[in-house]
């Protein structure tokens, strides 16, 4: 079974902004090898509608556990 977690943080801003949102998404795929799991996470990041909507506005950190 996959285990997932997420967190939101405030990061130093740029271009005059005091802060910028940061998003960390952690996914566990225990039944899939690390290389295949990372390709799946990266592919999902490219097509996810939410992440497409916030791209270049929120710093996103993807982590495969």
pLDDT tens digits along 29-58: 989 999 999 999 999 999 999 989 988 888
What local confidence, expressed as pLDDT, does residue 23 receive? 92
What local confidence, expressed as pLDDT, does residue 42 receive? 92
For residue 16, pLDDT beyond 80: no
What local confidence, expressed as pLDDT, does residue 20 receive? 87
CA 36 to chain centre: 17
For residue 8, pLDDT beyond 80: yes
Sequential DSSP letters for the chain = --EEEEEEEEEE--TT-SEEEEEEEEEE-TTS-HHHHHHHHHHHHHH-HHHHHHTTTSEEEEEE-
List, in order of start, the domains of the chain with CATH numbers.
Answer: 3-64 (3.30.300.20)
């Amino acid at each position: 079974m996959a285990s997932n977690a997420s967190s939101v943080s405030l990061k130093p801003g740029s271009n005059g902004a005091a802060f910028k949102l940061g998003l960390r998404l952690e996914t566990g795929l225990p039944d899939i090898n690390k290389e295949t799991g990372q390709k799946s996470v990266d592919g999902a990041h490219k097509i996810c509608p939410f992440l497409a909507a916030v791209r270049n506005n929120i710093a996103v950190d993807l982590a495969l556990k």
